[in-house]
Amino acid sequence: MMLMEDQRIRNADSNLCRQGCREFTAEEATPTMGMIINTNVAALNAQRNLSSTSATMGKTLEKLSSGLRINRAADDAAGLAISEKMRSQVRGMQQGQRNAQDGVSMLQTAEGALNEVHTILQRVRELSVQAGNSTLSSSDRTAIGEEMVALRSEIDNIAQRTRFNGLNLLNGSLAVTLDGSSTASGATATENGGTVSVAGIDVGNADANSTYTLTNAAAVLTATVTSGGFSRAETFTVQDMGANGTQDIIFEELGVTVSLEHDANAGNVTGAVIAAGLNNDTVVTTASSSASFRVGSEVGDNITLSFDDMRSSALGNGSKLSTLIADNTAVATTADADTLLASIDTAIGQVSTFRAVLGARQNQLETAINSLGVSVENLSASESRIRDADIASVSSQMMTSQIMQQAGVSVLAQANAAPQSVLSLIG
């Protein structure tokens, strides 16, 4: 009996331990917040989160409405700086394209006029050949001379009338010429009894009102020009020259050509001596204005062209057409006709050469237009990747923000209603 009683007592103690001696959970260990009405912490928390969600929603809607990922510097400071530089380049290149297109139109205007000048010169040459025939009477020669005078006058009229946006293209006003202050014109080099001198300098394709400085390192001659704070340089290796030899030092990119000639003495003059003779000399250009096409977004992105004088006073060999066809006695004799024929052949060559230059520059401008188009396309794509919004991604963000906003409004409403439960205690 005593053993059974002891077992019953132990079982009772065990039940009491299970009921009153169990471990508390984390929730049970946390103090319960009292019922407060002055400060609704739950509502403040819900309001803070709702405000953040609303701000995110506003930015998302802004991106969708503008189509831009970056609407202000705060959105992406580095991205904004990079994209603005790209925008500057793109807009500069687009304007360069338009400049080049205007240049093409300008060249086409000049070339179209020269086509008619060629036709006139061919007719004058035909008349010169006719005048070389001794079967003509003096009255016939006078009649030929009258037609020649009219044709020569029309060449001058075309040169004066050919304009683009008010600029005369063929009367020499856009021609770049060598200034008298150029020191390279008188340069010489002497070695072994032979002398090399400068026979002429062509600056027809050079920049106007610029100074090109020549320096040498052995036989390598360098021409340097600074314009608008931007410097350009080009090199040429001068070759040795012997008796009666000639050589052109061509700086193609700069548009300057220096022609050299050796005297009759047999002494050989090396390229290094010739280059040294030109060291520190200058080639100075001058022009009232010049044709320069800005085909890029930066300083120096230019294509320049000197428009030659196409008036009769500039066409021909030593005796210009304006002198040879001064009146209707231009072909009074067969000898006059022969002299005029030689000058007309030179004039035709001059016009042909200049038309070829115009065609080459037009092709260059059209190539620049195509190249700029590719650059604009690629830079625009790069700028778009930085600045434009991914509409699919932003739309997904907007849906998330909408759901969060709706949930936040609902939670805030419930948090605001929670203090009302206190009324049940007061009643």
Same domain, 202 and 275: yes
Number of domains in the chain: 2
Domain membership of residue 303 (yes or no) is no
Q: Is the pLDDT of residue 83 over 60?
A: yes
Domain membership of residue 341 (yes or no) is yes
Same domain, 195 and 257: yes
Q: Which domain holds residue 99?
A: 72-170+310-410
398-423: average pLDDT: 84
Query: Rounded distance, CA 274 to CA 259, Å?
Result: 12
271-307 pLDDT, tens digit each: 999 999 999 999 998 876 668 888 888 887 888 888 8
Same domain, 280 and 183: yes
Q: What is the pLDDT of residue 125?
A: 96
Domain end position, chosen among 254, 286, 318: 286
201-212: average pLDDT: 84
408-412: average pLDDT: 87
1 pLDDT band, cuts 50/70/90, is very low
389 pLDDT band, cuts 50/70/90, is confident
Same domain, 150 and 212: no
Domain membership of residue 138 (yes or no) is yes
Same domain, 276 and 260: yes
Domain membership of residue 403 (yes or no) is yes
Q: Is the pLDDT of residue 358 over 80?
A: yes
Q: What is the pLDDT of residue 200?
A: 92
Same domain, 151 and 187: no
Same domain, 218 and 156: no
Q: Is the pLDDT of residue 2 over 60?
A: no
Q: What is the pLDDT of residue 347?
A: 95
130-154: average pLDDT: 94
Q: What is the pLDDT of residue 226?
A: 85
Looking at residue 368, which CATH number applies to its domain? 1.20.1330.10
Same domain, 207 and 243: yes
Cβ atoms of residues 76 and 69 within 8 Å: yes
Q: What is the pLDDT of residue 5?
A: 53
Q: Is the pLDDT of residue 19 over 80?
A: no
415-425 pLDDT, tens digit each: 888 777 777 77
Percent of the chain beyond pLDDT 90?
53
Residues across the chain = 427
251-274 pLDDT, tens digit each: 988 889 999 999 988 889 999 999
What six digits make up the tokens of 167? Answer: 């600029």
Give the predicted TM-score (pTM) of the model.
0.64
Q: What is the CA radius of gyration of the chain?
A: 45
Q: What is the pLDDT of residue 9?
A: 47
Same domain, 166 and 180: no
Domain membership of residue 424 (yes or no) is no
Q: Is the pLDDT of residue 349 over 90?
A: yes
b (16+ CB within 10 A) / e for 17-35: eeeeeeeeeeeeeeeeeee
Same domain, 85 and 117: yes
Domain membership of residue 38 (yes or no) is no
The whole-chain average pLDDT of the chain stands at: 86
214-233: average pLDDT: 88
What does each C-alpha distance from 344 to 116, 126, 165, 214, 315 come to in angstroms?
15, 10, 31, 37, 8
Q: Is the pLDDT of residue 36 over 80?
A: no
Domain membership of residue 421 (yes or no) is no
Query: Rounded distance, CA 154 to CA 209, Å?
Result: 32
348-371: average pLDDT: 93
| Distant-in-sequence, close-in-space partners of 124: CB < 8 Å, separation ≥ 6 | 148, 151, 152, 321, 325, 340, 344
Query: Rounded distance, CA 213 to CA 252, Å?
Result: 15
Strand partners of residue 286: 177
Same domain, 210 and 135: no
Same domain, 275 and 322: no
Domain membership of residue 296 (yes or no) is no
